[in-house]
Amino acid sequence: MAPAAVSGHCAPGFEGVRAAFERNFREHGDVGAAVTVTVDGEAVVDLWGGHADEARTRAWERDTLVNVYSTSKGLTALCAHLLVDRGELDLDAPVARYWPEFAQAGKQDIPVRWLLSHRAGLIAPGEPLAVPRAYDWDDVCAELAAARPWWEPGTAQGYHAVTFGYLVGEVLRRISGQSLGAFLRGEIAEPLGARVFIGTPPEEHAGCADMVGQLDEARLAERLPGIPKPPFSALADHPLAAVALAMRYIPTGDVNSAAYRCAEIPAGNAHATAHGLATVYGALAGGRLVRPGTLQAMRRPQSLPDEPDLVLDALSPDGTQVCWGLGYMLNHQGTAGPNPRAFGHGGAGGSYAFADPENRLSFAYTMNKYGGDTSGTDPRNKGLITAVYEALGRMRG
């Protein structure tokens, strides 16, 4: 097979990033991908290449959108923090202040902060939903409002893989009167000229890459011996139970379908370009979106030292841990380069985007070949990030 054609540019000194990007096609199976790095808001790396479909009939372009799975959560969290920055949302207030129906089933005292830090115990509704229901915002939110927590809220963290977006998004909708996708477009994406969508308009679908391989939700369910019922505190007795709950109770179906792309599933179905993600994180790193105090609070640890995550521990038996900020993965293990203060979010399959305010840098990698790792542990994004900081180190001497 001929080497993938790579287009775009690298600023002098960043040639190693291009080499790492090309290596991803040769050695790590990338079909189509893009990477963008900004420093001081300027793109020092902006590369794309390969194909937007498995049959390799459509070239990947600079404006090619692709599903980025949980990299979406960083965008969703940012929308909430804009409301915090404006004084419209109090993270320590009960969710029920903004969403009265949420007070059902003993949830009246859960603060908004626990939604963003994966401590609310609402990794799934009380009963599994069929695929089409995941696309009905009001239906899913009504189920979550009625649901009992799966563990005592606040006592443990467990990745709210799918529910995160509905929970945070409904609070935002009650305050702003807009869906999260509309808020993202009007308040962040359009002002910045960033191609990022949650709820991708039909006219954009022709420019979307197809995912090659998808998260296999059915296989997770097959490995679970029976369906647990809440309260389900003994998650350790069923190491895949939390994963199945988080991902199978709200199945999202075919991620290449028009229905999926149009839906708003803010925890996992943003469609974005690498340039768009890096533009958003670059504006965040440069202090253009929120005030310094809000920026510092966003990346303040919400996890206890070495605290396990009830869901991600089942997904990562090798011991990889996540330290949560307010909606963001913090860089305590160095997956986002050497700055422990960097923060962002990765997605299933390999996409990753983050801000490094101390280095005035942002990074984003998108791709359509579903891999086995997320965050900075996928060899494709890991190699790119290493090359970025090696270049930065050489330039700054």
What does the pLDDT read at residue 309?
Answer: 86
- How many CA within 13 A on the CB side of residue 353? 32
What does the pLDDT read at residue 371?
Answer: 82
- Tell me the backbone φ, ψ of residue 46, rounded to 5 degrees: -150, 90
The separation between CA 259 and the C-alpha centre of its own chain, rounded to angstroms, equals: 20
**Is residue 39, in this structure, part of any structural domain at all?**
no
Do strands 196-197 and 361-367 pair parallel, antiparallel, or not at all (unpaired)? unpaired
**Is residue 227, in this structure, part of any structural domain at all?**
yes
Around Cβ 35, how many Cβ atoms within 10 Å?
31
**Is residue 391, in this structure, part of any structural domain at all?**
no
Examine the pLDDT at 326 and tell me if it is beyond 90: yes
Q: What total of structural domains would you count in the chain?
A: 1
What does the pLDDT read at residue 259?
Answer: 96
Least confident of 12-16, 80-84, 219-223, 261-265: 219-223
Examine the pLDDT at 29 and tell me if it is beyond 70: yes
Distances in Å between the Cα of 104 and the Cα atoms of 54, 99, 182, 226 are 46, 11, 28, 27
Per-residue pLDDT reduced to its tens digit, 114-139: 999 999 999 989 888 988 899 999 99
Torsion region of 333: left, alpha or beta (phi above 0 gives left; psi -120 to 50 gives alpha): alpha
Per-residue pLDDT reduced to its tens digit, 338-362: 999 999 999 988 999 999 999 999 9
Preceding amide of 94 cis, omega within 30? no
**Is residue 28, in this structure, part of any structural domain at all?**
no
**Is residue 242, in this structure, part of any structural domain at all?**
yes
Examine the pLDDT at 178 and tell me if it is beyond 50: yes
Task: Considering only residues 209 and 5, tell me which one the structure prediction assigns the higher pLDDT.
Answer: 209
The separation between CA 28 and the C-alpha centre of its own chain, rounded to angstroms, equals: 22
**Is residue 373, in this structure, part of any structural domain at all?**
yes
Q: What is the CATH number of the domain that holds 106?
A: 3.40.710.10
Per-residue pLDDT reduced to its tens digit, 219-248: 555 544 454 544 445 454 554 566 666 777
Query: What whole-number distance in Å separates Cα of residue 382 and Cα of residue 254?
Result: 28
**Is residue 377, in this structure, part of any structural domain at all?**
yes
Binning pLDDT at 50, 70 and 90, where does residue 396 land?
A: confident
Sign of CA dihedral 256, 260, 261, 266: negative
Task: Considering only residues 242 and 30, tell me which one the structure prediction assigns the higher pLDDT.
Answer: 30
Per-residue pLDDT reduced to its tens digit, 296-311: 999 999 999 888 888 8
Q: Domain limits at 185?
A: 67-271+288-381
**Is residue 301, in this structure, part of any structural domain at all?**
yes
- How many CA within 13 A on the CB side of residue 275? 18
pTM exceeding the 0.85 threshold for the entire prediction: yes
The mean of the pLDDT values for the chain is 90
